[in-house]
Amino acid sequence: MSPKQPNNSKNKFDNFVRYSSLGFEMMAIIGGFTFLGYKIDQWMENEFKGFTLVLAIFSVIVAIVYGTRNLLKKK
């Protein structure tokens, strides 16, 4: 066995944890803002679910920006 093999497997595991946690964080952002919009629409008793729609689209944009910044960040 070469000495680089354990370091390489640790690096792969670190990358796996980093990217999977990023995915969960992005899902939480999208889910949180969408749920907030749903609750606002429910509270205001709107027929058209405008807050849900706007906050869902906004949350996708925020999640993409957050994910891009996180991916471009050096370790």
Cβ(51)–Cβ(34) under 8 Å?
Answer: no
Of 1 and 31, the structure prediction assigns the larger pLDDT to 31
**Segment 59-65 mean pLDDT:** 97
Tokens 């050096």 correspond to 74
Q: What is the pLDDT of residues 23-53, one digit of tens each?
A: 999 999 999 999 999 999 999 999 999 999 9
Is the per-residue pLDDT at 2 higher than 60?
Answer: no
Choose between 59 and 11: higher pLDDT. 59
Q: What spatial distance separates the first Cα and last Cα of the chain, rounded to whole Å?
A: 27
Quote the tokens at residue 24.
């969960």
In Å, how far from its chain's centre is CA 5?
Answer: 31
Whole-number pLDDT of residue 8: 77
In the chain, the amino acid numbered 47 is E
DSSP 8-class letter at 45: T
With tokens 């999640």, the residue in question is 63
